[in-house]
Amino acid sequence: MPTCLFNCPAPAKLNLFLHVTGRRADGYHLLQTVFQLIDRCDMLDFTVRDDGRIVRTNDIPGVPADSDLVVRAARLLQAASGKLEVGADITVRKHLPMGGGLGGGSSDAATTLLVLNHLWQTGFNRGQLMALGLQLGADVPFFLLGQNAFAEGVGEELVPLRTAERWFVVIEPGVSIPTAIIFSSKELTRDTKVVRITDFPDAHNLVDKGFGRNDLEVVAAKQFPVVAETISWLKTFGNARMTGSGACVFCSFEHEYQADEVLKQVPSQWHGWKAKAMQEHPLDHLLSAL
């Protein structure tokens, strides 16, 4: 077995729509969404230690190591497996913005669980890892599932779904939005009608067909006007919408050259990039090859 793995991808996700359908007694919101993997990724390096220590080897501004989901994921797997004698050095190279609604922290945690499960030979199956991941955050099980999905509950009830092959322009407006601020707003719609997979357009091209909406978008756009400005600008090119609880905004295109043309026009105060839809988590191929 290898003792290290480098350049392990932790891909971003987009919420092709995000409906809030209710609220549980414990305060958690009930959601319906489609998670879409895209090929923009954080990259992580792992080296096994024999002293049981979990060490994040690099600084990430605003994220102390002990509260980092990567470190918490490693310690959770350590405790669940009983393999307290092994540890890891973990380097996280961030390419995804924090507070952007792209799931970067959750994806980093999922990649950590998948890779260390392999390196430490803990033997957990995907379902067991997903149950562990849910303890870290509602989005983590999706990244562990390894493919696009229709999600319900708090985001943990997942049905695999093949989505349309598209290119996306994603714009970072330059603000970081704490999820709690959006979900705690009194103005948030919490009674959107429940949908079914059979309601989806053919070939699951949800964004271009105008299916659904992001219920969090109205709240985020009101509290962070730059998000409203970004959505308004990008809507001149297609059916733009916000992902997650923000702040990133995206628009879907059939061809890469269309995305390139839009990127040339992005105002200088924002950061824009393109990404391609993926159907499967890229780490699955890497671990299968090993």
pLDDT per residue as tens digits for the range 36-46: 999 999 999 99
Mean pLDDT of 131-158: 95
**Bridge-partner residues for 48, per DSSP?**
88
Mean pLDDT of 253-276: 98
Mean pLDDT over all residues of the chain?
96
Point out the residues that are catalytic.
13, 139
204-217 pLDDT, tens per residue?
999 999 999 999 99
- Could you give the percent of the chain with pLDDT greater than 70? 100
Mean pLDDT of 108-127: 97
pTM: 0.96
The per-residue pLDDT for 157 is 96
DSSP secondary structure of the chain: --SEEEEEEEEEEEEEEEEEEEE-TTSPEEEEEEEEEEEEEEEEEEEEESS--EEE-S--TT--GGG-HHHHHHHHHHHHHT-TT-EEEEEEE--SPTTSSS-HHHHHHHHHHHHHHHHTT----HHHHHHHHHTT-TTHHHHHHTB-EEEETTTTEEEE------EEEEEE-S----HHHHHT-TT----PPP--GGGSPGGG-TTTTT---BTTHHHHHHH-HHHHHHHHHHTTSS--EE-TTSS-EEEEESSHHHHHHHHTTS-TTSEEEEEEEESB-HHHHHHHH-
Mean pLDDT of 119-131: 96
For the cut 90, the answer to whether the pLDDT of residue 202 exceeds it is no
Confidence band, pLDDT 50/70/90 cuts, at residue 142: very high
Confidence band, pLDDT 50/70/90 cuts, at residue 124: very high
